[in-house]
Homo-oligomer: A and B are copies of this chain.
């Protein structure tokens, strides 16, 4: 099936999902939307995030995608069920894949979760983990300082390690054996997070795991792309297209064509 996979995020974080989809499913075409004008979503009220997610999905539906991926943990936490109920195509979020991977990985049953305020406040990871495995012990913490670093492209700055150290100081003292990166921005900071948490803690990237589950679902629905032609991906963003392009090219290691989108409806900032 040659239609594209639509991926949406509050900004550049979902590029971690896009990159893994490109690597794990090289025949699939991607249409990506980063709502950089309104990022971060983490501190916003749920009703705003739900409204923004519907708006982006409406925009992406013009391209008739075969699947919608909500590559933002905050939006998945509050809007996944609504979007899934509304569309007839598969809708995939990033929370359950990370939860399932953590359950597969953990040996001592103590799982850490880091995410935005919105994601952690929603309790969506605890719910996903305990729905499957009620005896799992979950330790959650919001890390509001991390997304702004990534959205500014500062994921290799000198301050990064210091900010990550401050954010994870308490968690790193607990006996958890795996840590879910419950925000698609965090894989940009994997080196620093890994350094702070130490070698005994397995990092679970909800981005990588989501790409794997996209592959599973497309296969089971008979919807995998079958053409050997190299797909041409499309990127859209609502904010500064030059900054977006710079971050995207650096992360994806390839030339990226970015189309700016100006919201025609007033937006709440």
Which residues of chain B come closer than 8 Å to A101, judged between CB atoms? 212
**Minimum Cβ distance to chain B for residue A212 (Å):** 5
> How many copies of this chain sit in the oligomeric assembly?
2
Check if A108 is an interface residue, CB within 8 A of chain B: no
Identify which of B20, B27, B104 contacts A134 (C-beta below 8 A): B27
Q: CA separation between A232 and B217, bound complex, in Å?
A: 30
Check if A132 is an interface residue, CB within 8 A of chain B: yes
**Minimum Cβ distance to chain B for residue A230 (Å):** 11
Which residues of chain B come closer than 8 Å to A217, judged between CB atoms? 216, 220
Check if A224 is an interface residue, CB within 8 A of chain B: yes
Q: Other CB < 8 Å A-B pairs besides A24-B100, A27-B132, A27-B134, 18 of them?
A: A20-B104, A24-B104, A25-B132, A26-B133, A96-B216, A100-B212, A100-B215, A100-B216, A100-B219, A101-B212, A103-B215, A104-B211, A104-B212, A131-B224, A132-B219, A216-B216, A216-B217, A217-B220
Which residues of chain B come closer than 8 Å to A228, judged between CB atoms? 134
Q: Which residue of the partner chain B has the closest CB to A217?
A: B220
Q: CA separation between A26 and B134, bound complex, in Å?
A: 8
What are the interface flags for A10-27 relative to B under an 8 Å C-beta threshold, 1 for contact and 0 otherwise? 000000000010001111
A-B contact pairs, 8 of them (CB 8 A): A24-B132, A25-B132, A26-B133, A27-B132, A100-B219, A101-B212, A104-B208, A134-B228
User: Which residues 203-220 of A have a CB within 8 angstroms of B?
Assistant: 208, 211-213, 215-217, 219-220
Check if A135 is an interface residue, CB within 8 A of chain B: yes
Q: Which residue of the partner chain B has the closest CB to A84?
A: B220
Q: CA separation between A219 and B220, bound complex, in Å?
A: 13
Q: Which residue of the partner chain B has the closest CB to A208?
A: B104
Chain A interfacial positions (CB closer than 8 Å to B): 20, 24-27, 90, 96-97, 100-101, 103-104, 131-135, 208, 211-213, 215-217, 219-220, 224, 228
**Minimum Cβ distance to chain B for residue A106 (Å):** 10
**Minimum Cβ distance to chain B for residue A21 (Å):** 11
B96 near A219: Cβ-Cβ < 8 Å = yes
Which residues of chain B come closer than 8 Å to A208, judged between CB atoms? 104
Q: Which residue of the partner chain B has the closest CB to A104?
A: B212
Q: CA separation between A100 and B90, bound complex, in Å?
A: 19
**Minimum Cβ distance to chain B for residue A107 (Å):** 10
**Minimum Cβ distance to chain B for residue A171 (Å):** 24
**Minimum Cβ distance to chain B for residue A165 (Å):** 28
Q: CA separation between A215 and B99, bound complex, in Å?
A: 11
Q: CA separation between A219 and B127, bound complex, in Å?
A: 13
